[in-house]
Amino acid sequence: MSSPDLERQLVALRKGYAERLPARADVLAAIAADLAQHWDATAALELKRHLHNLAGSGASYGFPDVSQAARAAEDACSVALAGGPSPPLVPLMSALEALAGAIARARS
């Protein structure tokens, strides 16, 4: 495959990934809003899985800030999960806000 063809494919994949990011951000925000109302470990594990996938994919598509912010939020989620039935959520919510910012910048 020629370099321009490859470049075109990479650009198209990157564009598609960026276009899907807002929907993923909406899912994260919905889970976070539920957790803020009522902590639930199963929902937190689902949030952690989403964060893990973002952390593992963002930089591969050219968005290292998304990976980095998702990793920080995943770590904060792990801490919250280890924090008992009613863990402090401020660090997790702050990390999710930072991730939302990174996603918004990726789309701009």
Stretch of 10-18, 34-42, 79-87, 94-102 contacting other proteins, by CB under 8 A = 10-18
- At closest approach, how far in Å is the CB of 75 from other proteins? 10
CA nearest neighbour of 21 among 90, 67, 73: 67
For residues 65 and 77, give the distance between their C-alpha atoms in angstroms, rounded to a whole number.
18
Residue with token string 């701009």: 108
d(Cα 59, Cα 79) in Å, to the nearest integer? 24
Q: Map residues 39-78 to x or -, x wherever contact with other proteins holds by CB under 8 A.
A: ----------x--xx-xxxxxxx--x--x---x-------
Residue 9 interacts with other proteins (CB under 8 A): yes or no: yes
d(CA 34, CA 37): 5
Interface residue list for other proteins (CB under 8 A): 1, 6, 9-10, 13, 17, 20, 49, 52-53, 55-61, 64, 67, 71
